[in-house]
Structure 1
Amino acid sequence: MRGERRALAAISIAALIAGQVALGCASSGDMNSVRDEARDAKRTAEEANRKADAAAADAAAARAAAERAAQDAREANEKADRIFQRSLHK
């Protein structure tokens, strides 16, 4: 997923440059504008990558906590079953 975002950013940058070239000779001001836009796009993509990584880490932590809670619930249920079974034998 991370590589896909980088590839998308690279394609976007290439498309911006190709668009300028296709329209004819671009002035240095135009090229500077394209470079600035490309830098902004790259910065945005990198920020999105950081946020996605943080979200994945949060999801992994939540899953681990849920698995621990499920295990605790199973153990409590087994204990309650044993107590109930003992009460039937008395």
Structure 2
Amino acid sequence: MKSPVDKLLTKHENLIHSDGKKVLSHTQRDDGEWVLHTLMIEDCDAPFKFRRTKRYRTLKGQQVNLTYYPDSEKVAGFEIEVMRVVRIKLH
């Protein structure tokens, strides 16, 4: 029987799954009715972003499993690489 992650990865070929990644920083900002979460992960220069309806306790220093896809965002006229998180679990 396939796990939920395996089903996602099979259905969406651009998704990437990473296990046991250490969170270096975690910020939470209000964005209308949502809360925008931004994570910086050890050994990766791109921010990992996702939105939730509630705030989380801080994930800084935690090990997480992430399912995400690469994307880009324009900030101050510059294209920057970001990772859009579709699934996050504590390791």
Same fold (TM over 0.5): no
Larger Rg belongs to: 1
Bin of the TM-score, shorter chain as denominator length: under 0.3
Structure ranking higher in helix proportion: 1
